[in-house]
Amino acid sequence: MDQPTSTTRPEWTDRPMREGDLPAVARFLGEVYGANHRTASEAVLRWQYLENPLGPVVGTLAVTPQDEIVGVYTLTPLRFAVAGRPQPGMLSLNTATHPGYQGQGIFVRLAERAYEEAARRGAVGVIGFPNQNSLHGLTRRLGWSLVGRMRVWVRPRKVGTLVGAALRQRATWQRNAAAAAAGSTAERLADGVSTALFRLGAHAGAAAPVDGGLDELLRAQRPGAPLQLDYPAGYLRWRFGSCPSWRYEAACSPDGDAAVICRHDTLWGMRTTLLLDFGARWDRPAHHRLLALRAALSRACARAAEEDTAQMMTLVNPGHPAEAALALVGFVPVPERTLPHAAWACYKPLGGHPVPPDFPRWSISVGAYDAG
C-alpha cells in the first residue's frame, strides 16, 4: 500500500480478523517479511489460522478507513500441561505493523484486544519467543514475563560452509539491526543405528499419518515439568502431517521408545537439519530413556548425512530432558555471547493465572514456535 504523507497523521482503527481477510493478510505479511516468506502464502495461513484442531486463531487487525490492513497481531491455540494439568494456551506469532504507521500504538492496541479474546476463550497464558526489537514492548508495556533464554544446540557437519554462512548471516543481521534502529523496517516481533523413519506431510507424496505409537510418544508428559505442551488427539497429524510449506520426518529408536521430529531446509543461508520435538517414554528408567533418545537422534544424524546438510540444530529450554542425549551424539551448546541475537522465551499470564515457575524444569523445544 502507499506510504502516508509526512504531514498527515495516519488514520486507522482495529477490528477482529475474519476468514475473508486471509488473502489480504497474506499480501500484507508478504510486504513486511518478503514475498518468499511462508506467511505470504494464503494456503499456509489457512492451515495455520483455520485448520488447527484446537480452534481458529485469535486475530486482530489495524485497518485504514478504506479497510487496508496496516497491522496484524495473531495468537494460535495451544494446549499447555501446567504442573501436569491440561490448560488452554496460546502462541504469539505473525505480528507486524506497516512502517508508515509505526509509533501510533498499533502493536499495543492489537495485542490487548487479542489477549482479551484469548482470556474469554479460557486461555491461561500466552507463550512467545520475541526478537530483540519486540522484547521491550512485550515486557514493559504488555505485562509479559521474561522467563529465560532457549539454549541453542548445534552439530556441525561442514565446518567451512558453516563458517562462511555464519559470517554472511552476521553481516545481514547487522544491516537489519541498523535499519531497525533507524525506524525504516516494520516491527518484527551418527553411529549408524538402524531405526524406523516416518515421512510426514504432503511433500512426501501420499502423506504418512502419525501412527498410534508415534502419537503416544510425542503426547507423553514429562513428570514434574511446570509447563510443557499437551498434544490432544488429532493435533500432531495436523501439526506435522498436513503443513503445506514443510515436510517433517520422525526418526524413531528401534525399540519404539523415543522419537525425534525433524525437517531439512535452508536456514540462515545454509542447509540445516532442524530438530523440532522429542518424544520418549518418560516413565521408563533414566538410562533407558537416554539410550532410546540417543538411538533416535543417531537416525536423525544419518538422515542429515543423506540430505547433505551443513549443520544440525535445535533449541530447547535449559534442563530439557533431551540435552544429555544431544551431547552423546555430538551436539554442543552454542555460547550465548556468540549468538547474533538471544533466543528469548516469554510468558503472558491471562485471567489471573500465574506464570509457571522454574524455566529450567519446563519441557519446551523449537517445535513449540516453529509453527509451519
Is the per-residue pLDDT at 187 higher than 90? Answer: no
Q: In a 3-state reduction of DSSP, which class is residue 262?
A: strand
Domain count, the chain: 1
Does the residue 205 lie in any domain? yes
Question: Which residues fall within 8 angstroms of residue 286, CB to CB, at 6 or more apart?
Answer: none
Is the per-residue pLDDT at 201 higher than 50? Answer: no
| Structural domain for 190, as ranges | 151-228+238-334
| CATH code: domain of residue 191 | 3.40.630
Q: In a 3-state reduction of DSSP, which class is residue 128?
A: strand
pLDDT at position 38 is 77
Q: How many helical (H) and strand (E) elements, i.e. helices and strands, does the chain have?
A: 9, 15
Mean pLDDT of the residues in the chain: 84
Cα(94)–Cα(251) distance, integer angstroms: 29
pLDDT tens per residue, range 279-317: 999 889 999 999 999 999 999 999 999 999 999 999 999
Is the per-residue pLDDT at 320 higher than 90? Answer: yes
pLDDT tens per residue, range 12-45: 999 999 999 999 999 999 998 887 777 888 999 9
Question: Which residues fall within 8 angstroms of residue 280, CB to CB, at 6 or more apart?
Answer: 217, 220, 257, 258, 259, 289, 292, 293, 321, 322
Average pLDDT over residues 174-203: 39
pLDDT tens per residue, range 125-152: 999 998 877 888 899 999 999 999 999 9
* DSSP assignment of 275-329: EEEEEE-TTS-HHHHHHHHHHHHHHHHHHHHHHT-SEEEEEE-TT-TTHHHHHHT
CB 68 within 8 A of CB 101: no
Does the residue 359 lie in any domain? no
Does the residue 357 lie in any domain? no
Q: What is the pTM of this model?
A: 0.83
Does the residue 195 lie in any domain? yes
Our CA dihedral for 195, 317, 55, 58, rounded to 10 degrees, sits at -150
Does the residue 325 lie in any domain? yes
pLDDT at position 106 is 95
Q: In a 3-state reduction of DSSP, which class is residue 113?
A: helix
Is the per-residue pLDDT at 72 higher than 70? Answer: yes
Cell readout for 76 is: 494460535
Q: Which of 17, 26, 110 is nearest to 56 (CA)?
A: 17
Is the per-residue pLDDT at 118 higher than 80? Answer: yes
pLDDT at position 175 is 52
Average pLDDT over residues 79-106: 93
pLDDT tens per residue, range 221-237: 888 899 999 988 888 88
CB 265 within 8 A of CB 258: no
Q: In a 3-state reduction of DSSP, which class is residue 236?
A: helix
Does the residue 199 lie in any domain? yes
Does the residue 163 lie in any domain? yes
Does the residue 293 lie in any domain? yes
pLDDT at position 164 is 46
Q: In a 3-state reduction of DSSP, which class is residue 150?
A: coil
CB 156 within 8 A of CB 166: no
- Bridge partners of 333, per DSSP, are 153
Q: How many CB atoms lie within 10 A of CB 121?
A: 14
Alpha-carbon radius of gyration of the chain: 21
Angle at 280 between CA 274 and CA 286, to 5 degrees: 115
